[in-house]
A = this chain, B = another copy of it.
Amino acid sequence: MMSAQGDPLKLDSMLCFAVYAAGHAFTRFYKPRLEALGLTYPQYLVFLVLWETDGLTVKALGDRLFLDSGTITPLVKRLESRGLLERRRGQDDERQVHIVLTDAGRALREQALAVPLAVGTALAGEREAVDTLREGLHRLRVQLDGGPGA
């Protein structure tokens, strides 16, 4: 009941802005922790994927993170120039480029463990709410992308 809003354009009633603002808050929260690793947040996401599955192509990496080659390519080039990963042209399919971690890139994982720990501390005692939120956000994404059928 009473979910009807007087002004349909009221900023604080908009789910999109709640998502946008929470994203900002995460960025602010992560910034000092990721600076210790020398990574930006999108770079951190790339490593999260590669630590799970090394050797993915630019395309597969982009699909996982909802990013395209226009974002991935320069990002991994910066990481390559720092010796954290390598870009290898596919042998079977020469259109593809595989992203492969170096020893330094793999070693970064140990330090990265501190990041989710810090999140856990900041959200201590909210584990259940966090799980609910994550599931709700997942359903939201699916709905906005056109439902399960799209």
User: A interface, by DSSP: helix, strand, loop or mixed?
Assistant: helix
Bound-complex Cα distance A22 to B109 (A): 26
Q: Does A75 contact B (CB under 8 A)?
A: no
Q: Does A78 contact B (CB under 8 A)?
A: no
Chain A positions 116 through 150: 1 when the CB is less than 8 Å from some CB of chain B, otherwise 0: 11010011001111111110111111011100000
Residues 55 to 73 of chain A near chain B (Cβ within 8 Å): 64, 66
Distance between A80 CB and nearest chain B CB, rounded to angstroms: 21
Q: CB distance B139 to A129 under 8 Å?
A: yes
Q: How many residues of A contact B (CB 8 A)?
A: 57
Q: CB distance A132 to B127 under 8 Å?
A: no
CB neighbours (8 Å) of A122 from chain B are 143-144
Q: CB distance B133 to A18 under 8 Å?
A: yes
Q: CB distance A126 to B138 under 8 Å?
A: no
Of A16, A17, A45, the most chain B CB neighbours within 10 A belong to A16
CB neighbours (8 Å) of A109 from chain B are 9
Given contacts A8-B117, A25-B145, A123-B144, 19 further A-B contacts (CB under 8 A): A8-B113, A8-B116, A9-B52, A9-B116, A10-B48, A10-B52, A14-B119, A14-B134, A19-B22, A19-B26, A19-B137, A20-B41, A21-B141, A22-B137, A22-B140, A29-B144, A123-B140, A123-B143, A132-B132
